[in-house]
Amino acid sequence: MTHRDHTQQARWLALLSCLTIPGAPACGGEPADAERIDLVSRRDPRPGGTLTAAELRELVAQMTLAEKVSMIHGAPEGADCNSNPDTGPIFPVVSPSFAGCAGQAGYNRGVPRLGIPPLRQTDGPAGIRLGHQATALPAPVVLAATFDRRSAGDFGGVLGREGRAIDQDVLYAPMINLVTVPTAGRNFETLGEDAVLAGELVAEEVRGIQGEGLIATIKHFAMNDFENARMQTSIAIDERTLRELELPAFEQGVRAGAGAVMCAYSRVNDVYSCSNDLLLQQILRGQFGFQGWVLSDFGATHRLSDLVHGLDSAMPQGNNAGLRDDPDPGTLRDPPGVGDPGTGRTLTTAVTAGSPALPVFNDWPAVPAFTAAQWQSALDDAVFHIVTAMNDVGLLEGTASGSRFAGGTPVVPPRPDLASVVPGDFAIAQQIAETGAALLKNQRRALPLDRGDFHGTGVVVMGPTSVTPYVGGGGSAHVLPFDDVPSPFDALVAGAGHSARIRFVPGYDLDGELVPASAVAAPADSAFAGQPGWLRTQISTVPPASGAGAPPRAPARAPPISSIRSSTAPPRACPPRPRGAGRRRSPRPWPAPGNSRSSPCTRRARSCSSTVSTPPPAAGSTSACTARAAALARAACRAGMACCRRPSPMIRTRRGSSNPVSP
């Protein structure tokens, strides 16, 4: 079955699902009062820069060779985020409500003497991912479920406003690789599996981002549809299938005005994406007409010749491939790390003396000889593409040809005040989440559902994330959110009224279950005291009260599910997570019934050494830990104590530390 057949079949299944529900007034996640998709897109609210292409070429010509080379690879930034360790102070770029380092993912130097500012770059398919709080938007796949262009434009507007408010200039988003591998680890970051839908939405999202003055980077070009072994995998695909799957959405993103494109780790038909002349030169620039900036995924620059085949800058740096400021040591290898010493060149050497031809090396293709003039032309084109993207969002108005020239001092458009835009952005995020999550709305009481159903036998809410909201995914899409919003359980209780009976069942933990929920119970001081199950703790820095004593003992036996407390006696709410919370925490086990948190059973469940070294109590023992509980604890230890030791997916890490996911 072809991809087209699968798409058509999915559409018929969705339609049949709607038709089989009598009286259903709407389907597909679009509420009846939502704006219908029209064919007229909104115009960008912010004009671009004033420099012409000829003026941009003249600007490039004014740069020295060293300045050009410094612009086409990532670099470290000074500790105060307003200076560079090599070039000294640059200029302050501080928004009204933010100052200091934000933990950005990448940084490209500017040329201060010519009025060219540096570029700070951040991840963020679902919100601005920094060491600073930002609005946590719904997963982009939820945006796809809205089927609504206006929602996509609003989504992009939030990203653009908040990215600029936190001193960023470039956003590594949207991610528009299609969902073709169901188990791919980053499917939630994409716009779904339908190429047409993804293209329609990415165009509006790009307009929203760029319209706020932030450079949008559509990624990963192309066919980066899975994570495992993507750096070692070649995607074998014919050109027709490639054009039917991923290329349409990328083309629409380009035509909507995306300033940058990120090339991928994987190979396409045996050629690395960032070295792929067919993808970057013939299709992206030749057919799509892209004039902006092509940057590599982090570490996806493989050879110096990538620059000739369409790459413009190496991120986070390109030392191994020769895209570097350092002098040529004469021992570089091409291919990096595997070629013979001396076969590689730095870009500066290549621009001044050319480069020799290189033969085929294992599965690396041959590279022809290039003259110094060819390298100079490739370098000039790369810098031109970068300044073109900068000009599109008004970042070059401080140059000699700009509208705000003042002796060469870089000029950046005013940045929004983060505190002032957050309330509106939060409302947009909530509206998109509600629209994308709603499969069916009971308008005009078409379904036999009534508020009275919350009384009598009541409603059961299942799952650990119903009481502990699961905000965002991991890696490049993780966002440090603002203050916690109410949990689904609390919101349902508040909406149904205090006379309603709403019960909670922990269900299964998202990371699996080694010790059954029936073996543990909530502590007496928890919101669900005495109930069986596991408590999921994701991110918290709430310290215990000074001098707090041991919590009261839990009941001797956990009550059955049928007697779980209803909302008529609402449980105590968990304390809100403070701003800046981000410490790692793992799910912790609740003590067994009849024992406090400090019981021997709890200690053994948290320590493999003590559990394994402590023999099970003899039959008939009156020990606080029964033989069954001790056996379960030992089994958990033998299995690696995954329940207690496996870190939560909601862990915030900064670039360069332990983050396993690239942009």
Q: Is 559 part of any domain?
A: yes
| Cβ pair 274, 311 in contact under 8 A | yes
Q: Examine the pLDDT at 240 and tell me if it is beyond 50.
A: yes
What pLDDT sits at residue 458? 87
Average pLDDT over residues 463-484: 81
Same domain, 494 and 616: no
Average pLDDT over residues 80-97: 42
Same domain, 638 and 565: no
Question: How far from 558 is each of 121, 509, 518, 521, 548, CA to CA, in Å?
Answer: 52, 19, 9, 7, 25
The band of 614, judged by pLDDT with boundaries at 50, 70 and 90, is very low
Distance between CA 395 and CA 416 in Å, rounded? 15
| Cβ pair 250, 221 in contact under 8 A | yes
Q: What is the pLDDT of residues 156-204, one digit of tens each?
A: 999 999 999 998 999 999 999 999 888 888 989 999 999 999 999 999 9
What is residue 347's DSSP assignment? H
User: How many CB atoms are closer than 10 A to CB 80?
Assistant: 11
Distance between CA 524 and CA 42 in Å, rounded? 55
Q: Is 276 part of any domain?
A: yes
Q: Examine the pLDDT at 7 and tell me if it is beyond 60.
A: no
Q: Is 630 part of any domain?
A: yes
Same domain, 640 and 525: no
Same domain, 101 and 137: yes
Question: How far from 164 is each of 40, 158, 211, 385, 416, CA to CA, in Å?
Answer: 27, 10, 11, 21, 7
What pLDDT sits at residue 464? 83
Average pLDDT over residues 75-91: 49
Distance between CA 494 and CA 491 in Å, rounded? 5
Q: Is 271 part of any domain?
A: yes
**pTM tops 0.75:** no
Same domain, 187 and 297: yes
Q: Is 361 part of any domain?
A: no
Question: How far from 548 is each of 150, 504, 528, 603, CA to CA, in Å?
Answer: 51, 28, 20, 19
* Cis before 335 (ω within 30): yes
What pLDDT sits at residue 663? 66
Q: Calculate Rg over the CA atoms of the chain.
A: 28
User: How many CB atoms are closer than 10 A to CB 663?
Assistant: 27
The band of 581, judged by pLDDT with boundaries at 50, 70 and 90, is very low
Count of domains for the chain: 3
Same domain, 239 and 96: yes
In this structure, what are the phi and psi dihedrals at residue 125, rounded to the nearest 5 degrees?
-60, -25
What pLDDT sits at residue 310? 96
Max mean pLDDT range (3-12, 141-150, 335-344, 610-619): 141-150
The better pLDDT of the pair 309, 233 is held by: 309
Mean confidence (pLDDT) of the chain: 74
Average pLDDT over residues 345-368: 93
Range with the poorest average pLDDT among 232-236, 273-277, 429-433: 232-236
Distance between CA 642 and CA 513 in Å, rounded? 8
Identify residue 477 by its one-letter amino acid code: A
DSSP string, 420-483: HHHHHHHHHHHHHHHHHH-S---GGG-SS--GGGGSTT-EEEESGGGTS-----SGGG----SS
Q: Is 579 part of any domain?
A: no
Q: Is 403 part of any domain?
A: no
Q: Is 68 part of any domain?
A: yes
Same domain, 567 and 612: no
Range of the domain at 298: 31-318+377-392
Same domain, 531 and 615: no
| Cβ pair 210, 199 in contact under 8 A | no
Same domain, 562 and 624: no
Average pLDDT over residues 525-538: 66
Indicate the pairing of strand 293-296 with strand 260-263: parallel
* Cis before 316 (ω within 30): yes
What pLDDT sits at residue 76? 74
Same domain, 199 and 80: yes
Range with the poorest average pLDDT among 245-259, 272-286, 571-585: 571-585
Q: What CATH number did the domain enclosing 132 receive?
A: 3.20.20.300
Same domain, 531 and 455: yes
What pLDDT sits at residue 526? 72
Question: How far from 255 is each of 98, 166, 215, CA to CA, in Å?
Answer: 33, 27, 14
Same domain, 65 and 144: yes
The band of 416, judged by pLDDT with boundaries at 50, 70 and 90, is very high
The band of 101, judged by pLDDT with boundaries at 50, 70 and 90, is low
| Cβ pair 214, 259 in contact under 8 A | no
> How crowded is the C-beta side of 450, counted as CA atoms within 13 Å?
5
